[in-house]
Each structure stands twice: as C-alpha cells, then as structure tokens.
Amino acid sequence: MNNAVIVSVFETTGEASGDAPGELAPEMAEELSGQFRVFITNRSIQNAALELSAALTREGEPLVILDACACFDPSRISRCAPHSAGLLHVLRVPVSQSIVETMDEVWSGLCGIQRDLQSRQILVVGLLDRLYDPAILTRDAARTLGGIKARLEHLAVDGFDVTVLCEQQSGSLGSRSHFLSSLCAAADQVSTAALSH
C-alpha cells in the first residue's frame, strides 16, 4: 500500500461490530432524508467508480463503498483520485465467491463498517453486474436482487444516501434482462448521464 494514500479496505469476514448484525447505526438516520440512486455507465465500471467516488466525497464527507468488482485498488486510487483517498472506506466482495452465497456476510460487513465510521453515504459498485453470472441460477439471482433492493430501499428510508453504480450490459441477458429495470424501478433517481469532476 502506498504510504501517501490511506484507504480503509475491509474484506468480508461475516463479523460486524455493533449490537445487531444487519442493522445500521440508527443515530445516523435521525432527522435525515435519504435517497436511493442508480447510475448506469456504458464506460469502464472501474473508471466510472473512481470518478463517482470523487464526486461523492467532494464536500469532505466519508464514503463507505461496497466493491463487488475489484474497482478500488489502493494503488489505482492513489493515481486517479488521491484527493478523496482518505475518505474512502472499501468493503471488497471476493470475486472468487458467488454473490448469492455471500450476500448475508457482505451485508453484515457493510453494516459494521458504516456503524464504526458513522458515514451517511454508501456507494455500491458492480453488485448487479455480479448477478449476471451464468453460474448462478436465474431464480437465485432474482431472489438475491429482491433482497438487495429491499435493503437499499430500507437504507434510504432510514436517511442514508445510497448510490448504486451499474455497467450497461451489452448482448443478450435472456431471462435476466429485466434486472436493471427492476433495480431502477426501486430507485428514487436514475441517471445515465456522463459523470464529471
């Protein structure tokens, strides 16, 4: 890790700190109105993720990132977004494991990090993209998507600003082609506009 850049990186372990697994710190949600946004990019998700994280930390507020696509490598952040590096707290979802099998563990980890950091902003990168994996049964992927949507909506209701970044998929997705529109239907705001600093 580059000493000039401090990025908190957490691996999913299934151990969340705090009182109850799966619940975010309630004091963060008092008197706040949250928002659930979806950004769709047709560019590299890695570049879009770094650009979006820089935009979300522009005011100096910390950002908890659920990284399902290995976008937030510390050396890459030090080169591409050094001004926001100290504000990024990354939970990496292992790409070698099925997202369906690890979702509860991932959620517990995210809740623990948020509780420790008291961050109001949450960025979710590539989670939907992982559900397109043909090794996952479509019904399991759809059920997992339903759970993800419910959790993200709940976060927004509780006052958190949740931003989900998805890559525009090309080619035939078959019976999974509705996943993105389903996620967008649950969101308060959807954007396909280009991101800029």
Residues 187, 110: Cα–Cα separation, whole Å: 20
Three-state DSSP at 122 gives strand
Query: pLDDT tens, 86-104?
Result: 788 888 888 778 888 888 8
Domains for the chain: give ranges and CATH numbers.
8-191 (3.40.50.300)
Residues 81, 12: Cα–Cα separation, whole Å: 24
Query: pLDDT tens, 136-187?
Result: 999 999 999 999 999 999 989 988 999 999 988 777 888 898 999 999 999 9
Measuring CA to CA, which residue among 181, 182, 55, 191 is closest to residue 123? 55
Residues 157, 137: Cα–Cα separation, whole Å: 30
Query: pLDDT tens, 11-29?
Result: 443 333 333 334 444 443 3
pLDDT the model gives residue 82: 64
Q: Which amino acid is it at 194?
A: A
Three-state DSSP at 64 gives strand
pLDDT the model gives residue 168: 86
Residue with tokens 């080169």: 79
User: Residue 100: how many CB atoms within 10 A of its CB?
Assistant: 18
Run of H or E residues at 48: helix 45-56
